[in-house]
Every structure is written in structure tokens, then in C-alpha cells.
């Protein structure tokens, strides 16, 4: 579910939250409505005392960071960091093998993500970037946490169902099935109390809260150890990929942030639209066209309605040309910064190594407390 070196200037467009823009509304369940109310309360609390929050967020290293990530989570991470919230960013390399074999180029992908984060505005002097496989105490927490949930509870998790369906495999690995519990270990290992999420990830947060609560009730009822983390619900719009489905690293339908101007033009040019010449912003009736309109608007810091009115009867060709220009203008500086960072892989590995060490120290403290509570100090 959701960066520059400290010596480089952070552009205002990169470091700020994405501009508000209307998106296709989704039915709001009671849980979502409650999370929206809670998010409003949390934003006020962050403004009052950002130092009281520790955020855990991250990505699976299955491909390059793309535009959907940028507007959906990356901007928010930088916003929280700059507000004074403690930020931990996880590269979930173990979760990359839930439904696939580890790629031989995984080291390059992981280091590439570090470059993406730094180019986007994550400051390694204020945030911790680390990788799953390098933090052993974190992964040891998975075992006791598995004892706190039932198979039925895990199988009901909608994200697990969706990921299994997307994988298209007749079998499901144990790692894939236990994904929500592993994610709980990610969050609770650093005792994070805030996790930025989309609506589809709320069940993960609820399961994490359940695990924290059950551990406290079973092993330390008089002095609860784990906080029950809150989900900070994102209001960012959902961007579709070039094929009209949700944009995703592993779906081969995304527009990477690191893409060149020519690559961006090629990718946008093949995006799905429709046969109507007049351009309008109607997410329900014309989702593919509306997606390009919205993407253009986000890059321009304007509204989709304004973009649609400007294109008018120009048709899909004019819309795609506008989108290509807006994307390339918005991200030219970021791409230049990333290229400079990528030219120094030694520095990127140092950033990751230092983040791994910091995450290990935090998780080791958590694991020691867990063992103490479980009477496993021999």
C-alpha cells in the first residue's frame, strides 16, 4: 500500500501534497466513513504535535515507481516528513516473492527504489529507508503474530483475495497467504502508530490492530506494549494504467517517474481512450478519457474540468499531446535529480545500509520486549 538528498533543493511541486482533484466516487462503507472521520482527527493531531507520530509505509520492489505512486502516496510521504513526523520507508523485498521468483536484477531494483525515494524528496537524515530481508528481528515477529490469528481471518482479507486473483496461479504460497500478518510485523516491529493507506488497505490495518490488541491482552494486559496503529486514509485519486486498469508496477501498464520524455510520449500515446472526439471529464461514463484528463490536471495543478474545456473538440490526439507535455514538464527536474543520484550507486547503498541498521535497532528492541512478555528469555 503508499525524495532528495539533503544537499539538493526540494522543489515545491515535489515536496507538497498533490492538488485536490475530483475523482470517481466509490461507495463509502461504514468502516470507510469512520476512517475518514478518524483521518480528519489525525490530520489535526499531526498539525499540533507531529513528533508524536511514527509512520511506516513502503513498496514491493516489483518495478519502478510510477505516476500512480507519486500522486497516490509519495507526495504524502514527503508532506508528513516535512511536517516533522518520523518516517520509516520499507522496501518489502520478501513480499516481492509472494507470487513470483526473486528476480536476478532485484538488487538493481532495490537500489533504484532508493534513488526514486531520494529524488522524490525523502531525506535520509530525517527518514529511515530499509529492506525487509536485512532486518532479521522484524521477520522473527511473524511467528508469534501468526499464533494470534486464525486461518479464516486471514483468508477473509480482501487484499489477499485480490492478489491471488491477479497472480492467476492455481496454487497460493504460504508467504502470499500470510501477507497481512507479515505486514502487521512490519508495522508493529517499529511500533508505528500511523500508516497511510487507501480504502482497499483498511482491512490490513484492522488486522494489525487485532494482532496488537490480542498480544497485549494475552501477554501484557497490565501494561499493553503495542500501540494499535491508525490508518491515515488517502484522498488521492486512483490513476488508471495505459490499458484502462489500475496502474501497477507488475501490470506493465504504468508510466514510470524515471521514464525519459520520449518514453513517456510512447507510453501515453498507446493509452486507451474512446471514439468520441469531444473531450469531457466523466469518470463513470468515460473512465479512460477521464484518466488522462485527470493526470494532465494533476501535473498542471489545475482541475480536470479546466483541462477538458481547453481540449474541447481536439479529440484523443490533442488530449494525449497535452498529457505528454504536462508530465514531462512536471517531472523534468525530478528526473534530472534521479539521474544524478543513480550515477552514484555507492551513496545509495550507504543510505540503505544506514537505514537497515537503524531499522534493526528498532526491531531488535521490539523483539526483546516481545520475548520478555512471552517468557522466552532463557
Question: Cell numbers of 114, please?
Answer: 532508493
In the chain, alpha helices (H): 12-15, 30-48, 67-69, 75-83, 106-120, 136-140, 142-146, 151-155, 158-167, 174-177, 179-189, 202-219, 261-269, 287-300, 304-311, 315-342, 345-373
Q: Are residues 177 and 309 in the same domain?
A: no
Q: Are residues 22 and 157 in the same domain?
A: yes
22 in any annotated domain: yes
Taking the CA atoms of 222, 223, 226 and 229 in sequence, report the sign of the dihedral they define: positive
Q: 192 Cβ partners below 8 Å, 6+ apart?
A: 54, 55, 56, 88, 227, 229
> For the domain that residue 298 is a member of, what is the CATH number?
1.10.240.10
245 in any annotated domain: no
Question: Cell numbers of 64, please?
Answer: 519502478
- Provide the pLDDT for residue 12: 28
Q: Are residues 28 and 63 in the same domain?
A: yes
Q: Are residues 331 and 350 in the same domain?
A: no
Q: Are residues 128 and 167 in the same domain?
A: yes
Taking the CA atoms of 98, 103, 104 and 107 in sequence, report the sign of the dihedral they define: negative
Please tell me whether residue 319 adopts helix, strand or coil conformation.
helix
Q: Are residues 90 and 140 in the same domain?
A: yes
7 in any annotated domain: no
Name the helix (H) or strand (E) containing 88. Answer: strand 86-91
Q: Are residues 230 and 270 in the same domain?
A: no
Strand partners for 90: 58, 130
- Provide the pLDDT for residue 31: 74
- Provide the pLDDT for residue 30: 78
Q: Phi, psi at residue 38, to the nearest 5°?
A: -65, -40
254 in any annotated domain: no
230 in any annotated domain: yes
70 in any annotated domain: yes
Name the helix (H) or strand (E) containing 127. Answer: strand 127-131
Q: Are residues 332 and 351 in the same domain?
A: no
User: For the whole model, what pTM was predicted?
Assistant: 0.85
- Provide the pLDDT for residue 95: 81
Q: If we measure between CA atoms, which residue out of 43, 126, 39, 42 comes closest to residue 84?
A: 126
- CB-based burial, 204-226: b 16+ in 10 Å, e otherwise: bbbbbbebbeebbeebbeeeebb
Q: Are residues 213 and 361 in the same domain?
A: yes
Q: Are residues 139 and 200 in the same domain?
A: yes
Cβ pair 296, 319 in contact under 8 A: yes
Tens digit of each residue's pLDDT, the chain (378 residues): 332 222 222 222 233 333 334 344 455 677 778 888 888 999 999 999 999 999 999 998 988 889 988 888 888 999 999 999 999 999 999 887 765 666 778 899 999 999 999 999 999 999 999 999 999 999 999 999 999 999 999 888 887 777 667 666 667 788 888 889 999 999 999 999 999 987 778 888 999 999 999 999 999 999 999 999 999 987 777 888 888 887 876 677 889 999 999 999 999 999 999 999 999 999 999 999 999 999 999 999 999 999 999 999 999 999 999 999 999 999 999 999 999 999 999 999 999 999 999 999 999 999 999 999 999 989
250 in any annotated domain: no
Domain count, the chain: 2
Cβ pair 320, 268 in contact under 8 A: yes
Q: Are residues 216 and 274 in the same domain?
A: no
247 in any annotated domain: no
Question: Cell numbers of 258, please?
Answer: 524515471
Domain coverage including residue 59: 12-239+344-373
Question: Cell numbers of 212, please?
Answer: 496488537
Please tell me whether residue 196 adopts helix, strand or coil conformation.
strand
Question: Cell numbers of 285, please?
Answer: 461514463
Q: Are residues 56 and 101 in the same domain?
A: yes
> For the domain that residue 153 is a member of, what is the CATH number?
3.40.50.620
Amino acid at each position: 500500500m503508499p525524495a532528495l538528498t539533503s544537499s539538493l533543493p526540494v522543489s515545491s511541486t515535489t515536496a507538497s501534497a498533490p492538488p485536490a482533484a475530483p475523482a470517481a466516487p466509490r461507495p463509502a462503507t461504514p468502516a470507510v466513513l469512520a476512517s475518514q472521520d478518524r483521518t480528519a482527527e489525525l490530520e489535526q493531531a499531526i498539525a499540533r504535535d507531529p513528533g508524536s507520530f511514527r509512520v511506516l509505509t513502503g513498496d514491493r520492489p516489483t518495478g519502478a515507481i510510477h505516476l500512480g505512486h507519486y500522486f497516490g502516496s509519495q507526495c504524502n510521504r514527503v508532506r508528513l516528513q516535512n511536517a516533522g513526523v518520523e518516517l520509516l520507508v520499507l522496501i518489502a523485498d520478501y513480499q516481492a516473492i509472494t507470487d513470483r521468483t526473486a528476480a536476478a536484477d532485484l538488487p538493481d531494483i532495490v537500489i533504484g527504489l532508493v534513488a526514486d525515494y531520494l529524488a522524490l524528496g525523502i531525506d535520509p537524515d530525517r527518514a529511515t529507508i530499509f529492506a525487509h530481508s536485512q532486518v532479521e528481528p522484524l521477520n522473527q515477529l511473524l511467528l508469534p503474530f501468526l499464533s494470534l490469528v486464525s486461518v479464516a481471518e486471514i483468508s477473509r482479507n480482501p487484499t489477499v483475495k485480490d492478489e491471488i486473483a491477479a497472480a492467476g496461479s492455481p496454487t497460493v504460497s504460504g508467504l502470499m497467504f500470510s501477507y497481512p500478518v507479515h505486514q502487521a510485523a512490519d508495522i508493529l516491529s517499529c511500533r508505528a502508530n500511523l500508516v497511510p493507506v487507501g480504502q482497499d488497505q483498511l482491512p490490513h490495518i484492522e488486522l494489525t490492530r487485532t494482532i496488537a490488541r490480542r498480544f497485549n491482552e494475552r501477554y501484557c494486559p497490565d501494561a499493553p506494549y503495542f500501540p494499535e496503529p491508525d490508518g491515515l486514509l488517502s484522498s488521492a485519486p486512483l490513476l488508471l494504467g495505459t490499458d484502462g486498469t489500475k496502474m501497477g508496477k507488475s501490470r506493465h501498464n504504468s508510466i514510470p517517474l524515471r521514464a525519459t520524455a520520449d518514453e513517456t510520449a510512447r507510453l501515453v500515446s498507446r493509452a486507451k481512450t474512446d471514439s468520441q472526439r469531444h473531450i469531457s471529464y466523466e469518470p463513470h461514463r468515460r473512465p479512460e478519457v477521464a484518466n488522462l484528463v485527470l493526470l494532465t490536471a494533476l501535473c498542471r495543478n489545475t482541475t480536470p474540468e479546466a483541462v477538458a474545456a481547453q481540449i474541447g473538440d481536439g479529440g484523443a490526439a490533442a488530449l494525449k499531446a497535452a498529457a505528454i507535455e504536462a508530465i514531462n514538464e512536471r517531472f523534468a527536474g525530478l528526473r534530472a535529480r534521479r539521474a544524478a543520484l543513480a550515477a552514484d550507486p555507492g551513496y545509495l547503498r550507504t543510505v540503505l545500509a544506514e537505514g537497515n541498521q537503524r531499522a534493526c535497532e528498532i526491531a531488535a528492541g521490539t523483539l526483546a520486549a516481545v520475548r520478555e512478555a512471552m517468557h522466552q528469555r532463557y
